[in-house]
Amino acid sequence: MSDNGSETGAFLAGFVIGGLVGAAVALILAPQSGEESRRLVREKAYELRDRAEDIAEDTRKRAETALDDARKHVEEAADRGRKAFEEQRDRVKDAVEEGKKAAARKRVELMGESAPDEKASSGA
């Protein structure tokens, strides 16, 4: 995005400088009187100013649109990331619960098998 800004600035600078050079050449080569040449230069300067303002406004609008698009993409990516995180968190929570249940089942199973051995050793 900063490349677009520098390209736009370079374009505007070139545009203004080119306009001024063109006006100077027109003054030198113009067959009309000095008064008429000054009037033409003044009109061209106003035209150049207006065109530069139009270009600057257009560039500003494009930058705002690009910024809005970028914000929208960032928000969408954040939403996708949040959803993925929540899904993974739920999966881990479910896996932990399943692990706890499996451990409890195994404990009951092992306790059930060791109980008769304890009875046999205590009765002897």
C-alpha–C-alpha distance, residues 45 and 20, integer Å: 8
| ∠ CA 59-61-63, rounded to 5° | 70
C-alpha–C-alpha distance, residues 101 and 107, integer Å: 10
Residue 30: phi, psi to the nearest 5?
-70, 135
Q: 46-62 pLDDT, tens per residue?
A: 888 888 888 889 999 99
Q: Would you place residue 94 in the very low, low, confident or very high pLDDT band (cuts 50, 70, 90)?
A: very high
> Domain ranges in the chain?
2-123
User: Distance from CA of residue 37 to its chain's centroid?
Assistant: 50
Residue 8 has pLDDT above 60, yes or no: yes
C-alpha–C-alpha distance, residues 124 and 119, integer Å: 9
